[in-house]
Amino acid sequence: MNAGEDDTAPVLADAAAFAARLPERGALLAVDPGGRRVGVAASDPTRTLATPLETVTVRDPDRLLERLAALARERGAVGVVVGHPVSMDGRRGPAAEAARELAERIAARLRLPVLLQDERLSTFAVEEAIREGRLRRPRRAPLDHLAAAVILEDALEALRRVRRHGPAGEPS
């Protein structure tokens, strides 16, 4: 390592760049950031399935990072996907900036590559699936972990597209 460099993993907004930093196999952790609660989901090692894990109440940011680190170890995570709440017109407001800051803290603490995944409509998708009967509403539980699973599913699909079509979007 050169002077002035650190070994913090990168925070990326591009699925192809994220894919290039991942081993062929290994689970991904996903985070749906929020002011009071953070939803967490994980994939299997083959990155086929996204499973909602839990919703963590954020009282202390350090404890949140400790919990995410423990989940990453338990699951054998090789990367993290953080929902990036960009507005419908593409602007990045305070929530998007807070998500980026959380992503940077996660990358520094876990030393894993982090993908900022557009999360527009993820909570809407969960609520719609509940209304349509495709998903059961958890009793007295927040939906954040379910939204994290939707964010992870979107990221897994983006990674599959990269694998099928290469980083330039052309079939490989």
Q: Which helix (H) or strand (E) holds 114?
A: strand 114-118
Specify the number of domains making up the chain: 1
Query: Does 4 map to a domain?
Result: no
Question: 112-122: per-residue pLDDT in tens?
Answer: 999 999 876 66
Instruction: Please tell me the distance from the alpha carbon of residue 29 to that of residue 114, in angstroms, as a whole number.
Output: 9
Query: Does 6 map to a domain?
Result: no
Query: Does 2 map to a domain?
Result: no
Q: What is the pTM of this model?
A: 0.84
Query: Does 126 map to a domain?
Result: yes
Q: 11-12 and 114-118: which strand pairing?
A: parallel
Range of the domain at 49: 11-165
Q: 77-84 and 27-32: which strand pairing?
A: parallel
Question: 138-171: per-residue pLDDT in tens?
Answer: 666 677 888 899 899 999 999 999 988 876 655 5
Q: 114-118 and 77-84: which strand pairing?
A: parallel
Task: Enter the tokens of residue 108.
Answer: 């520094």
